[in-house]
Structure 1
Amino acid sequence: MSKRPLRIIFMGTPDFAAATLQALIDGPDEVVAVVTQPDRAKGRGKKLTPPPTKVLAEAAGIPVLQPTKIKTEAFHNGLLTYQPDLIVVTAYGRILPKSLLELPPLGCINVHGSLLPKYRGAAPIQWAVINGEKETGITIIQMNEGMDTGDILLKAKINTAPDETAGSLFDKLAVLGSATLLTAIKGLQEGTIIPVAQDHDLATVAPMLKKNDGLIDWHKDAKEIERLIRGLDPWPTAFCFLDGTRLRLFRPEVLHQDSEMQPGTVLQADKRGILVACGHNTLLTREIQPEGKKRMDVDSFLCGHPIAPGTRFVQ
Structure 2
Amino acid sequence: MKKPLKHLFSTEKDNKTWRLVFLGSPACALPTLEALLSFSPPYQIELVITQPDKPSGRGRRLQPPPVKELAVAKGLQVYQTPRIRKDAPAQELLKSIAPDVGIVVAFGQIIPPSILDIPPYGFLNLHFSLLPRYRGASPVAHTLLNGERKTGVTIFRLNEKMDEGDILTQEEVEIFPEETAGELEARLAQVGANLMIQTLANLDKITPVPQNHAQATYAPLLKKEDGLINWELTAENIVNRVRAFTPWPSAFSFFRGERVKLLQAKAITEKSTSLRPALSHQLQSQDCKAGKVLHVDKSGIYVACGQQTVVQLLTLQPANKKPMPAFQFSLGRQIKPGDYFG
Question: How does the TM-score come out when normalised to structure 1?
Answer: 0.96
- 1:306, distance to aligned residue in structure 2 (A): 2.3
Aligned partner of 1:10 in structure 2 is 22
The answer to whether the aligner puts 1:93 opposite 2:120 as a matched pair is: no
Given candidates 241, 256, 266, the residue that maps to 2:293 is 266
Q: Which residue identity lines up with residue 293 of structure 1 in the other structure?
A: K
Aligned partner of 1:57 in structure 2 is 71
- 1:122, distance to aligned residue in structure 2 (A): 0.2
- The aligned runs of 1:29-40 (5 Å cut-off) are 29-40=43-54
The answer to whether the aligner puts 1:300 opposite 2:318 as a matched pair is: no
Aligned partner of 1:25 in structure 2 is 37
Considering only CA atoms, is the larger Rg found in Structure 1 or Structure 2? 2
Aligned partner of 2:82 in structure 1 is 68
Q: Which residue identity lines up with residue 222 of structure 1 in the other structure?
A: A
Q: Which residue identity lines up with residue 133 of structure 2 in the other structure?
A: K
Aligned partner of 1:255 in structure 2 is 268
Measure, in 1, the Cα distance between the counterparts of 2:303 and 2:105. 39
Deviations 1:287-313 (A, max 9, x none): 000011121222332342221111011
Measure, in 2, the Cα distance between the counterparts of 1:212 and 1:308. 28
Measure, in 2, the Cα distance between the counterparts of 1:62 and 1:134. 39
- 1:136, distance to aligned residue in structure 2 (A): 0.3
For 1:174, what is the secondary structure of its paired residue? helix
The answer to whether the aligner puts 1:172 opposite 2:187 as a matched pair is: yes
> Which stretch of the first structure deviates more once superposed, 250-259 or 195-204?
250-259
- 1:286, distance to aligned residue in structure 2 (A): 0.6
Given candidates 161, 166, 174, the residue that maps to 1:146 is 161
Q: Which residue identity lines up with residue 316 of structure 2 in the other structure?
A: I
For 1:201, what is the secondary structure of its paired residue? helix
Deviations 1:171-221 (A, max 9, x none): 110110000111111122xx1111000000000000000111111111111
Deviations 1:245-291 (A, max 9, x none): 11111221111254132110011223211110011310001100001
- The aligned runs of 1:108-127 (5 Å cut-off) are 108-127=123-142
The answer to whether the Cα contact below 8 Å between 1:270 and 1:298 also exists between their aligned partners in 2 is no
Measure, in 2, the Cα distance between the counterparts of 1:84 and 1:294. 47
- The aligned runs of 1:143-292 (5 Å cut-off) are 143-188=158-203, 191-256=204-269, 257=276, 258=280, 259-260=283-284, 261-280=288-307, 281-292=309-320
Q: Which runs of 4+ in 1 moved over 3 A?
A: none
Q: Which residue identity lines up with residue 186 of structure 1 in the other structure?
A: A
The answer to whether the Cα contact below 8 Å between 1:122 and 1:208 also exists between their aligned partners in 2 is yes
Measure, in 1, the Cα distance between the counterparts of 2:190 and 2:234. 33
Measure, in 1, the Cα distance between the counterparts of 2:219 and 2:140. 8
Measure, in 1, the Cα distance between the counterparts of 2:331 and 2:303. 19
Deviations 1:128-157 (A, max 9, x none): 111111110000000000110000000001
> Which stretch of the first structure deviates more once superposed, 267-276 or 94-103?
267-276
Measure, in 2, the Cα distance between the counterparts of 1:51 and 1:212. 24
**Any unmatched runs of 5+ in structure 2?**
1-7, 270-275
The answer to whether the Cα contact below 8 Å between 2:83 and 2:109 also exists between their aligned partners in 1 is no
Measure, in 2, the Cα distance between the counterparts of 1:73 and 1:243. 53
Q: Which residue identity lines up with residue 19 of structure 2 in the other structure?
A: R
> Which stretch of the first structure deviates more once superposed, 130-139 or 288-297?
288-297
For 1:224, what is the secondary structure of its paired residue? helix
Kindly tell me the number of residue pairs found equivalent between the two proteins.
312
Measure, in 1, the Cα distance between the counterparts of 2:296 and 2:52. 45
Deviations 1:11-48 (A, max 9, x none): 00111112211111112411111100000001111110
Measure, in 2, the Cα distance between the counterparts of 1:300 and 1:80. 59
Q: Which residue identity lines up with residue 52 of structure 2 in the other structure?
A: P
Aligned partner of 2:94 in structure 1 is 79
CA RMSD of aligned residues (A): 1.2
Question: How does the TM-score come out when normalised to structure 2?
Answer: 0.89
